[in-house]
Structure 1
């Protein structure tokens, strides 16, 4: 070990780099004093600009799914027709805790650093997203130049934009919901394998016996058979 630093060590200088996690490139001389490089700023500005339009398209999709009805189907909570699985991935972005909440968290952090009053919630997510995006876009230059934690915010905005665009473009990862057990009899006994339905499709297939349910009538038959099997089990237990 060296007791004293060498002259070479004293002369070493670490050139500042962009704080964005997926970038880290050395800053240009003209970017002296900045935390994030201009290419990262430009890319983030573009993503912020696109987010309101992406949100509107997702919100329309989610609304259609929430109101979706099959011919002859019922929507009441007492309906015997299993519900059509919603697009959970879309609902997670347009609902509470989604795009609007994630943008609001960044705006609140920037306002606190700037010493500005934290803005109140701007109504529904659909009403809030344009205003939130406008604030972030207007203050992005300040953040890239003066806010040490901007790198994480840039990365969060990149991921949020990517999630929205992937869903709008159809590259979604379907969620799944539990819809009871398989009521098909196999060798004189119930299959009773747990069934799940994809958020992207109403088709159901049992992984145990291979039975399928796809149409409205088949969904009704599935639910009726499940209820019958539960009733029979309850009668035996009694």
Structure 2
């Protein structure tokens, strides 16, 4: 069962954080003291809810297990003696240590060290996914204010949803476009990129800023 501490440390109003660590936009006056702005916190909640439950993305992965049920899969064999094959990429997503349940429970363990969660490894994989999602959602507001790695958490939850959604719907990931940082570094961004840090000069761009960067020249982008 998820539990909370009797009291929380008060947010440090004197800290230097004036921008959301997830989307990098300036925090509003009523958001000062948070690591993640409210719109980014709401988006994480939406992404978590999309994964769990009887109609969630995790359970819907079952519909794509048979080869031929998704893009690129071979036809299912009609032999009565051969075992029914499955798509290993989908099966990997659904395993206990796979890229869905594995990271979810890793974050639950992390929050457990802060007294904000209790790992539940009993039951089916679906029940464990549902438990992890409930736990993370229950204390999401705490994480947005107090957890120093909430940006990493937000991006990872978004990536998990995109992975599952891509397999369930067959949609391709957003096309990445090469843009040029003033220092000359080429950054590859998509329309849904929350933000980007230039690995060359260290400049941090928010969503709007990175999309305003000029397109990289073809020769530079191919390098």
Alignment TM class, shorter chain as reference: 0.5 to 0.7
Larger radius of gyration: 1
Q: After TM superposition, list the pairs within 5 Å mapping 1:1-238 onto structure 2.
A: 16-20=18-22, 23-52=23-52, 53-62=56-65, 64=66, 70-75=77-82, 84=85, 86-98=86-98, 99-113=100-114, 115=115, 118-171=118-171
Q: TM-score, normalised by structure 1?
A: 0.56
Q: Post-superposition shift, 1:153?
A: 0.5
Q: Distance in 2 between matches of 1:94 and 1:45?
A: 21
Stretches of structure 2 that go unaligned for 5 or more consecutive residues are 1-14, 68-74, 174-223
Q: Which structure dedicates a bigger proportion of its chain to helix?
A: 1
Q: Distance in 2 between matches of 1:167 and 1:155?
A: 19
| Residue aligning to 1:10 | none
The change in CA–CA distance for 1:56 and 1:39 in structure 2 (over 3 A counts) is same
The change in CA–CA distance for 1:116 and 1:17 in structure 2 (over 3 A counts) is closer
Q: Distance in 2 between matches of 1:73 and 1:156?
A: 42
The change in CA–CA distance for 1:109 and 1:103 in structure 2 (over 3 A counts) is same
Q: Post-superposition shift, 1:55?
A: 0.3
Q: TM-score, normalised by structure 2?
A: 0.59
Q: Post-superposition shift, 1:61?
A: 2.9
Q: Distance in 1 between matches of 2:152 and 2:47?
A: 15
Calculate the aligned-residue CA RMSD, in Å.
2.5
Stretches of structure 1 that go unaligned for 5 or more consecutive residues are 1-12, 77-82, 174-238
Q: Post-superposition shift, 1:111?
A: 1.4
